[in-house]
Structure 1
Amino acid sequence: MVLKRILIGISIFAITGVLAIIYKLYNPLLYNFFPACPIKHVTGFDCPTCGTQRAAHLFLNGEFKSAFHQNPLIFIISPYILLWIYFRLVKNPTEKELKVYNILYGNKTLSIVVAIVIIFTIWRNIA
């Protein structure tokens, strides 16, 4: 049981590492193989994740201030999403894991997260 949790953690870490290498080496502004934002393409408005690929590239190359300016929300929400992925992959979670999951991903918390994302999206499109 513990070994399976460790393997899940290592897998998430490895996939994140491979993506980090790609984003460090290749600037999304210069290469076509990075996906474009369909919401921006159709509406002309920035979605909550617009700028994430540029931010990742800048962050991984040590340009932290510039990365934060591309998409500040992603720096807050990425650990939250990675933890959610971990919890979704774990079968038969422990009681402690269930308690943490219910606090972090319960209806009240998700309502707050959705409100933050909506407010951020409106703010970035009017600013």
Structure 2
Amino acid sequence: MRGVNADSRRVTPPAPRTTPDTLRGRLAVPAGILAAVAGAFAYVGTVDPNEPGHYPVCPLLRVTGLYCPGCGGLRSAHAFVHGDLAAALHDNAMAVVGFLGFAVVWTVWVVRAARGRPARMELTPVRLWTLGAFLLVFTVVRNLPFGGWLHP
């Protein structure tokens, strides 16, 4: 190494640890996610989706007259926020399952983060296909004559 002085070589410091060491640091991301979801639910709870003009109409419903898996989701969230579980289930039962599923997954995440363990939930192809099949069956049944009880 010509022209390089041994004193001019620099040793790079070790990279900073990317995992937070404190409980507060470990819970920062789950708390941020909860704040965002709570803000969305607060908005939908305040601005009634049952009144026209506040939210856009589902494009699939407008064009084809068919209910997509998300149709009624905002009305369901509004009823859920106001504690009317029967109306929430009537507007979109799968959305209520999703709300409760989010609560369970978030709680497991927080407990694991508080204990310093990684929150891992593997979405294997089998689980994704199963979820897709449930959504497909829900969508088909709610659009058939005998599935009228699933209409929003």
- TM-score bracket for the superposition, by shorter chain length: 0.7 to 0.9
What is aligned with 2:119? 97
Partner of 1:97: helix, strand, or coil? coil
Deviation at 1:96, TM superposition (A): 5.1
Q: 1:113 to 1:37 in 2, by over 3 A?
A: same
Partner of 1:58: helix, strand, or coil? helix
User: Residue 122 of structure 1 is aligned with which of 128, 133, 140?
Assistant: 140
Deviation at 1:97, TM superposition (A): 3.2
User: Residue 7 of structure 1 is aligned with which of 9, 21, 28?
Assistant: 28
Distance 2:118 2:58 in 1: 38
Q: 1:38 to 1:5 in 2, by over 3 A?
A: farther
Q: Pairwise CA RMSD of aligned residues?
A: 2.4
Deviation at 1:79, TM superposition (A): 5.0
What is aligned with 1:20? 41
Deviation at 1:35, TM superposition (A): 2.7
Report the TM-score when normalising by structure 2: 0.65
User: Residue 110 of structure 1 is aligned with which of 119, 124, 128?
Assistant: 128
**Whose helix proportion is higher, 1 or 2?**
1
Q: Any unmatched runs of 5+ in structure 1?
A: 88-93
Report the TM-score when normalising by structure 1: 0.77
Amino acid at match of 1:122: V
Amino acid at match of 2:119: E
Partner of 1:29: helix, strand, or coil? coil
| Alignment size in residue pairs | 115
Larger radius of gyration: 2
Distance 2:28 2:119 in 1: 16
Task: Confirm or deny: 8 A CA contact 2:45 2:81 kept in the other structure.
Answer: yes
Runs of 4 or more, structure 1, over 4 Å off, are: 79-84
Deviation at 1:75, TM superposition (A): 1.5
Distance 1:122 1:55 in 2: 19
What is aligned with 1:29? 50
Task: Confirm or deny: 8 A CA contact 2:44 2:77 kept in the other structure.
Answer: yes
